[in-house]
């Protein structure tokens, strides 16, 4: 690193100028823009009704699982949220629009007065030291109303009375749920914006009013992203108003549609990156793949959500402990919310032990908030590495396939020194081993080995930005036209069976910011110079970087060799707390990397801008090679 700094062209400090137009999204703001509202400094943990019971819910089932959370010791390990999913609403009372609870299923809600109340129920959970969560939808109607095979557990009454979603009622409903009923968490689905088109059978039958569609799960360009974002903004305003202590969580559940994998981080505490999970290995791969390449889009306060844990059923039941352990270990290092979805009243001890592995929970709840990054990526085996607040690393070796593998884990995967011993602690067996440079590990089919690693960092006196994705936010990632991500694993049957054309890429986010990778998955490279560490992003982008006391920022910048736009200029700029610190010379594809080194002592927020006035963003990947913050 030091050789690079002295040999390269040191960018001018204080004095360079770049014209910034009013309203320019690349203009530095001096502030962190990803969501910080609510209580999600670490990924939320808890239990939800949906996977175990769907809409067939009642007070006994929920409180029974809540008591098991406490009695089993899981609550003491961080599982706090007890979330009611779809199925609780009887109707919306007209003409005042108040939501009415199915009090036959929740008898404690019968408190007298003019309507049942969830207040006694939430007070019971709070008295147990737990938090309470509730469910709604962005539209007028919910997912169960669109897809349930029977109407047994669905809202009753007239067309208007069965409109139990938030649409047109956001302020009224959020006040009821949080101020009056005392909930702490809300999951907001999106079926009401997708499944009630004028031409749909359910609307033509006269049972529902048409709405939209605003959202199309299969094609992002047929989705009104701005309208969906506006609704979530209104929800956030209402949540802030009704929770002055800030003790709440918003879960965005539009299943990876509407390009939410790019912007969910700015609107809520957790954001679904995929459609619903099911208890099948192929479905785990789908949901996992929607999250694993997106560590720069998750931070303390805003987490990627590949859906709830489905441990306890199908491929993840007690007869499939290898798969159950993989599910848990992967969700932990991805910083996914750890939301149990099984009937805990009937869960065998072997699975309770999986949920309760304190060492793996600690990785998920590590305060640094760094989602694991891919150190090795193939169709069969992946190595994920997560930097912890202590400087240790978590490492997960994931065998996706059906054959055994001998995997070489190297110091370079961990960004540790090649010539110093590395200690590995197996977080399932608790066995300790030591290696130098590399070690070979055997991984069985569908197995995930998971370790805590301690060693000497390769970059002494600092860290690469790609080691700290929780402190790097792609405020503007350069993506102008959301594009389906072709790298997502697709199941053979999908959700519609094999009668149709099969699954097609539908989750947008292709070309977003990547850690240690170019935006489209290639290795980072500028004019033939390869970088094992760095940030890949498209041109006309702005990265926000939190500085935790470093004295100097260094990097090598240029147009990545993967660019197909080989004619456009790019200029790189570094800002500190909104003030310009340094710029590069204009550079094009094929030109050597330029070095930037600037002091950042006392700077709280660094912003990295790559600007190309005439460039085609999505054909112009750029590289912040070896971008690092140093102690001196």
Catalytic machinery residues: 189, 276
Cβ neighbours of residue 499 closer than 8 Å, sequence gap 6 or more:
none
SS3 sequence, 17-28? CCCCCCCCCCCC
| 40, 322, 364 from 428: Cα distances, Å | 27, 11, 15
Distances, alpha carbon 159 to alpha carbons 145, 164, 499, in Å = 12, 10, 33
How many residues does this entry show for the chain? 632
Cβ neighbours of residue 482 closer than 8 Å, sequence gap 6 or more: 220, 221, 225, 259, 262, 508, 509
In this structure, the number of other CB atoms found within 10 A of the CB of residue 98 comes to 16
Phi, psi of 491 (to 5 degrees): -70, 155
Q: Determine the distance from the C-alpha atom of residue 53 to the mean position of all C-alpha atoms in its chain, rounded to a whole number.
A: 25
d(CA 626, CA 91): 57
- φ/ψ region of 340 (left if φ > 0, alpha if ψ in -120 to 50, else beta) reads beta
HEC letters along 124-166: HHHHCCCEEEEEEECCCCCHHHHHCCCCCCCCCCCCCCCCCCC
Task: Assess contact for 383 and 375: CB atoms under 8 A.
Answer: yes
**526 in the Ramachandran plot: left (φ > 0), alpha (ψ -120 to 50) or beta?**
beta
CB 395 within 8 A of CB 414: yes
Interhelix angle 321-333/281-292, nearest 10 degrees: 10
The angle formed by the CA atoms of residues 201, 203 and 209, to the nearest 5 degrees, is 170
Residue 335's nearest CA partner among 303, 359, 367, 296 is: 303
The set of residues, in sequence order, having a beta carbon less than 8 Å from that of 145 and lying 6+ positions away, is 154, 155, 162, 164, 191, 208
Residues 6+ apart with CB under 8 A from 9: 585, 594, 595
User: What is the C-alpha separation between 295 and 516, in angstroms, rounded?
Assistant: 11
Distance CA 360, CA 354 (A): 9
Residue 265: both structure tokens together: 């981080």
- Distance CA(266)–CA(345), nearest Å, equals 37
Instruction: Give which of 233, 307, 220 is closest to 266, Cα–Cα.
Output: 233
Q: Cβ(20)–Cβ(27) under 8 Å?
A: yes
Per the listing, tokens 């690469």 go with 464
């Amino acid at each position: 690193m030091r050789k690079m700094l002295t040999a390269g062209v040191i960018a001018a400090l204080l004095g360079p100028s770049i014209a910034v137009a009013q309203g320019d999204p690349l203009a530095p703001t001096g502030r962190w823009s990803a969501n910080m509202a609510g209580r999600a400094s670490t990924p939320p943990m808890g239990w939800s009704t949906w996977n175990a019971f769907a809409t067939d819910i009642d007070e006994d089932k929920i409180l029974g699982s809540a008591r098991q959370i406490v009695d089993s010791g899981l609550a003491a390990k961080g599982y706090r949220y007890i979330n009611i999913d779809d199925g609780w609403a009887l109707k919306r009372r007209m003409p005042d629009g108040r939501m009415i609870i199915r009090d036959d299923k929740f008898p404690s809600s019968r408190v007298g007065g003019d309507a049942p109340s969830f207040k006694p129920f939430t007070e019971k959970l709070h008295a147990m030291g737990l938090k309470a969560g509730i469910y709604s939808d962005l539209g007028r109607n919910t997912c169960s109303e669109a897809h349930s095979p029977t109407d047994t557990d669905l809202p009753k009454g007239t067309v208007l009375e069965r409109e139990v979603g938030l649409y047109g009622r956001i302020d009224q409903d959020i006040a009821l749920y949080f101020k009056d009923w005392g909930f702490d968490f809300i999951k907001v689905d999106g079926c009401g914006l997708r499944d009630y088109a004028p031409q749909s059978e359910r609307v033509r039958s006269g049972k529902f009013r048409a709405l939209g569609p605003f959202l199309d799960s299969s094609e992002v360009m047929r989705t009104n992203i701005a309208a969906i974002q506006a609704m979530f903004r209104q929800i956030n305003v209402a949540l802030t108003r009704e929770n002055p202590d800030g003790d709440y969580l918003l879960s965005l559940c539009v299943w990876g549609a509407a390009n939410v994998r790019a912007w969910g981080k700015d609107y809520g505490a957790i954001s679904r990156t995929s459609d619903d999970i099911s208890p099948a290995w192929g479905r785990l791969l789908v949901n996992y793949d929607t999250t694993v390449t997106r560590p720069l889009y998750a931070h303390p306060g805003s987490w990627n959500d590949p859906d709830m844990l489905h441990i306890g059923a199908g491929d993840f039941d007690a007869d499939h402990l290898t798969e159950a352990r993989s599910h848990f270990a992967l969700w932990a290092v991805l910083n996914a919310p750890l939301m149990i979805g099984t009937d805990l009243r009937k869960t065998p001890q072997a699975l309770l032990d999986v949920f309760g592995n304190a060492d793996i929970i600690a990785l998920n709840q590590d305060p640094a908030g760094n989602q694991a990054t891919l150190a090795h990526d193939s169709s069969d085996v992946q190595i994920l590495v997560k930097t912890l607040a202590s400087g240790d690393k978590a490492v997960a070796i994931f065998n996706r396939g059906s054959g055994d593998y001998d995997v070489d884990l190297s110091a370079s995967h961990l960004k540790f020194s090649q010539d110093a011993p590395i200690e590995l602690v197996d977080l399932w067996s608790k066995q300790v081993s030591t290696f130098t440079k590399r070690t070979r590990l055997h991984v069985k089919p569908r197995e995930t080995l998971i370790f805590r690693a301690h060693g000497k960092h390769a970059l002494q006196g600092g860290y690469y930005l790609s080691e700290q994705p929780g402190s790097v936010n792609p405020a503007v990632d350069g993506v102008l036209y959301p594009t389906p991500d072709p790298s997502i694993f697709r199941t053979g049957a999908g959700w519609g069976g094999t009668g149709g054309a099969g699954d097609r890429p539908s989750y947008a986010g292709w070309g977003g910011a990547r850690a240690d990778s170019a935006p489209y998955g290639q290795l980072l490279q500028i004019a033939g110079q390869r970088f094992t560490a760095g940030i890949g992003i498209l041109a006309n982008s702005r990265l926000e970087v939190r500085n935790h006391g470093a004295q100097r920022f260094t990097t090598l910048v240029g147009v990545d060799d993967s660019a197909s736009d080989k004619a456009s200029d790019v200029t790189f700029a570094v800002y500190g707390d909104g003030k310009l610190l340094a710029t590069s010379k204009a550079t094009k594809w094929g030109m050597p990397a330029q070095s930037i080194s600037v002091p950042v002592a006392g700077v709280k927020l660094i912003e990295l801008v790559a600007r190309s006035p005439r460039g085609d963003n999505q054909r112009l990947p750029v590289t912040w090679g070896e971008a690092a913050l140093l102690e001196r």
